[in-house]
Structure formats: structure tokens, C-alpha cells
Amino acid sequence: MTGSKTDPRVLRTRKLIMDSFIELSSEKEFKDITVKDITAEAMINRATFYYHFEDIYDLLDKALSEVLLINLDCNHYQNIELNEEMLVNIFKAVTNFQMSLSNRCHRGYEDTIARIIREQLEIIFYKVLLKQGLTGDMQALKITAVMLSWGLYGASVEWRRNSVGVKPEEFIKPAIPYIISRIDVGSTNETKE
């Protein structure tokens, strides 16, 4: 997929930084983590950090994206259709991811995290919609992906607020038929009778 091989030094250093950041995140909250802390933990030079990331927020962004992508097992969804099972799995991944974050006390950065999650969801949904060869134009697919990402994220917020006792899959399942039927219309005509 990524045609040009990246320098192994870059991969090594990025991993060192990411791992150190995640390690530090489990020790103290984000606002108390400095770039110096990270580079000390990673045993790299501070200047090298700025070679790879704009600042610590850029690192936060990319680190969270990566963790979320692992949770979502993105490649796994490349080949399947947008059905109930997939939506349930993604919802489980999102709630699971958020629970793991709340243990790490990223207080005051919920907005950033929310944006990152939605962006990642949007990317995934857009890919899947494209794969399904829907007839609508690309702009329509994009907007659909946006709405799905916001919708799913919103559901996770609602779940966290009221229903953490309920299993995520049981929480989301009742709503899915309404979503799915809308999507399926206009594509394969496999609307559930």
C-alpha cells in the first residue's frame, strides 16, 4: 500500500516516542507530561522529537489515532459490507477504547479525543461505502460517512452517560436496523423485508 519504504531509523524513533508517551500516560495525566519527559523516557534527543512531531498535541493526535486504529482492526473491515455485525463491532471498539482512555485521565482533552475518534470512524465508513459501490456521488458518500461517524460517536457518549452497565452490543443493536435500512436503499436493493 505505502509504496515508498520509510527509513528504518524513522520507524524506530517514532515507536520509541509513541511507546514512551503511552507509558508516561499511564503514570500521570496529559497536562503534566512534557516533551522533555517523553524524550528522556525514550532516550532520544529533544530536537529529534520536533523532527517527527509539530508539538505534543500532534503526538497526542497521532498516538491516539494509532491506538484507535489497532482497536478497530481497520484492515479487517476493508473487505466486508456495512452490516449489523460490523457496526456492532466498531461500536464495541469505540466504547472499549474510551474506557481504556478514561483510566488514563486525559482530563481537559475530551474534545481533541472526540475529534480524533470521529475522524477515524469517518475514514473507515467512507472506505467501506466506496467498496460497496453505492450509486450515489462521492460527495453524498462523504456526507453519509460524516453522519455515521458522528452518530456512532454520539451513541457512545450517550452510553457512557447512562448505560455503562449495559453491554455495548446490547445497547447499540436495537438502533442498527434503522440505520442499515437507510444505507442499503439505493445500493444492492437487499433491503430487509
The reply to whether 38 sits near its own copies by the rule CB under 8 A is no
Contact 53, 105 (CB under 8 A): no
Q: Around Cβ 95, how many Cβ atoms within 10 Å?
A: 20
The reply to whether 47 sits near its own copies by the rule CB under 8 A is no
Question: Nearest distance from residue 108's CB to DNA, in Å?
Answer: 12
Question: How many residues of this chain interact with its own copies, rule: CB under 8 A?
Answer: 5
Burial label for 22, CB within 10 Å (0-12, 13-18, 19+), is middle
Residue 1 binds which entry of its own copies, DNA, none, CB below 5-8 Å type-dependent:
none
Comparing CB distances to its own copies, the nearer of 45 and 102 is 45
Residue type, 82: L
Q: Around Cβ 163, how many Cβ atoms within 10 Å?
A: 12
Q: Which of 10, 12, 36, 70 binds its own copies (CB under 8 A)?
A: 12
Site residues for its own copies per CB under 8 A:
8, 12, 43-45
